Amino acid sequence: MPVLPIDAGRYGSIEIRQIFQENNRLNYQLLFEASVAEAQSIIKMIPENAAAEIIKTAKSGRITLKRVSELEAVSDHDTAAVVEALSEKCSPKAKPWIHYGLTSNDVIDTTTSMQIRDALNIIEPKILKLALVLVNYSIKYRTMPAVGRTHGQHASIIAFGLKFAVWALELVTHIERIEEGKKRFLLCKTLGVVGTGSLMGEGALEVQKIVAKNLNLYPIAAATQVIARERFAEVQYLMALIGCTLDKMATEVRNLMRTEIGEVAEPFRKGQMGSSAVPIKRNPIKSERVSSLSRIVVSLVNVSLENIPLWHERDLSNSANERFTIPVSAILLDEMLNSMMIVMEGLKIDRGRVTSNLNLTSGQIHSEFILDKLVRKGVSRIEAYRDIQRVAFSALESGEHLHDAIKNDQKFAELTSAELKFIFEPSNHLGASNQIIANVAKKVRMVKERYLKRKV
């Protein structure tokens, strides 16, 4: 019976969960052993016929997880059990050359890199797809004035589409971070017990170079028995950073979906129930799920950081927790992306509520532009600020529209009716929003093109 929700299939796509399943992990390990044997035969380090047999056996499907588990129960060593299971299927001539010159963490660390590689191949296209959805919203709503809020309070006017542009920009920046980081954390190591390549001698680096190329990884320049844990901490942090961006988006959706605001709403399918007790509820459950899972992904960063200072050339204090950190983070990040995609593709935007919220404070949101007009006329900024504040606070208490309060106050007599009309028209105050959104759209398209070229 499954213990964790991930095991039960509740979170993450089938594709990403499969990457971290034990039987597939075994396949990655066997592929690594085959790749090392092939590289060693290429430079004449081991006999070609032995390498051919090792490669064929490792890829035959005859090495089972069941048998590996049986051997591990005796040896209490997971990697040794894999090597022993492989050896059982090879001839006496090939057996001496299995796992030649390697140590356990050559297998473990390179396997982890292979898993990260394949997980990112699932995650990156989803990030890009979400960014493209957001760009479309940003363009669609680039001329719609909306309330810009700071400290939870109405501050000034924004283009509603700018919200989506900001999110899209961060998502494609994450893709750039991933691509730039691959050379640092998608690593191959074949340098043996303490990182010297002792048994392979001068051919050690050449073997590593060949294996790395064959596995679409990067050879580590220097290591102890293990790849330095700064490398895996970086990818752990990167997944948390992406998760935080998704949480930021989810939090805004949750806030804008409040009954009192009501500017957006998550999609609500037929038959869905928002509450077991209250029939009218439509809760932002997918956005809340994103926020909830983000907390787990973020919490695992600290575990990865604490794995960095190992004893001497290595110890096992990182080993057990690494069976959780990267797999859990990758699977949960995949789930967060899936959930946010559903939210954004089906997002309901209520134009009427956006406009009514803009007018909620009876013109108070235009104070920035009154101040600017007065300053341009030569009035001291602090003097103008105090006068606007005085009139605005009084109007708020009395319920008077700020336009009328300003018009009827002698301190603002020099503002003409035409100027006041311009000031109190929201669409006049979107600033450079249209160009900003256009620039972001261009950036997203460029990142998409670069990404697609890399995949060809």
Mean pLDDT in residue range 269-281:
69
- Per-residue pLDDT tens over the stretch 5-26: 898 889 999 999 999 999 999 9
Average pLDDT, the chain: 95
pLDDT score recorded for residue 277: 67
- Per-residue pLDDT tens over the stretch 26-74: 999 999 999 999 999 999 999 999 999 999 999 999 999 999 999 999 9
**Confidence at 280, pLDDT banded by 50, 70, 90:** low
Both tokens assigned to 162: 């700018």
Mean pLDDT in residue range 116-136:
98
Both tokens assigned to 276: 């077991």
Which residue from 15, 28, 42 is spatially nearest to 338, judged by alpha carbons? Answer: 15
CA distance 69 to 81: 7
**Confidence at 273, pLDDT banded by 50, 70, 90:** low
CA distance 408 to 393: 15
- Per-residue pLDDT tens over the stretch 341-376: 999 999 999 999 999 999 999 999 999 999 999 999
Both tokens assigned to 423: 């000031």
For a pLDDT cut of 70, what percent of the chain falls above it? 98
Torsional sign, CA 53, 56, 62, 64: positive
pLDDT score recorded for residue 454: 83
Coil vs helix vs strand at 229: coil
pLDDT score recorded for residue 276: 65
**φ/ψ bin of 409: left (φ > 0), alpha (ψ from -120 to 50), beta (otherwise):** beta
CA distance 298 to 238: 10
- Per-residue pLDDT tens over the stretch 129-148: 999 999 999 999 999 999 99
Which residue from 341, 401, 393, 403 is spatially nearest to 369, judged by alpha carbons? Answer: 403
- Per-residue pLDDT tens over the stretch 179-222: 999 999 999 999 999 999 999 999 999 999 999 999 999 999 99
**Confidence at 453, pLDDT banded by 50, 70, 90:** confident
CA distance 327 to 240: 13
Catalytic residue among 275, 299, 356, 380: 275
CA distances from 423 to 163, 288, 392, 428, 430 (A): 23, 38, 15, 7, 12
- Tokens 């805004």 appear where? 252
For a pLDDT cut of 90, what percent of the chain falls above it? 93
- Per-residue pLDDT tens over the stretch 404-448: 999 999 999 999 999 999 999 999 999 999 999 999 999 999 999
151 is catalytic: yes
275 is catalytic: yes
CA distance 250 to 259: 16
